[in-house]
Amino acid sequence: MSSYEMFADKNIVAGELANLMASAGWGTEGDYDATAIEKSLSAYPMIAYCRDSDGLLVGYISAFTDGAFSTFVGELVVRPTYQQRGIGSALLAMIVEKCRGVPVYATPFQGTEKFFLDRGFRVPERPMSVVSMRNVT
């Protein structure tokens, strides 16, 4: 069994994040532009990640927060061969702890809601929907 180390900095190379995302079925590595990944890493005020004992990036979470009214989880991804080992839970707990007293929102893919519900998240009394738009010029 491998050992893991958690980090809360931005010491991630674009290519390794693209590799992690692709490993989880979020497209292929080629779908990710290094400049866009670097822009994303720069924009998120909170990032945490996990590396195994060989330094392989095995988990990642990002979040935006205003520190008062809302925190939004951006991405939470764990390499499939490392899932069910508590890595995703530990990463999520790092964000929740940093935002103590501030509501934390997540928009999980359908079928993955149970992960969040099992960790204390709840479905709001007034259901929320996710809407999105991509401004393409």
pTM above 0.75, yes or no: yes
Mind listing the pLDDT tens digit for each residue in 110-123? 888 999 999 999 99
CB-based contact 35:46 (threshold 8 Å): no
Mind listing the pLDDT tens digit for each residue in 4-58? 999 999 999 999 999 999 999 999 999 999 999 999 999 999 999 999 999 999 9
Dist. CA 98–CA 88, nearest whole Å: 16
What single-letter amino acid sits at 100?
R
Dist. CA 137–CA 135, nearest whole Å: 6
Number of H helices, E strands in the chain: 4, 5
> What CA dihedral angle connects 30, 31, 33 and 36, to 10 degrees?
-160
User: Spelled out in words, what is the top-level CATH class assigned to the domain 4-117?
Assistant: alpha beta
The residues pairing with 50 across neighbouring beta strands, listed in sequence order, are 6, 59
Tokens 């532009």 map to which residue?
33
Q: Where are the domains of the chain?
A: 4-117
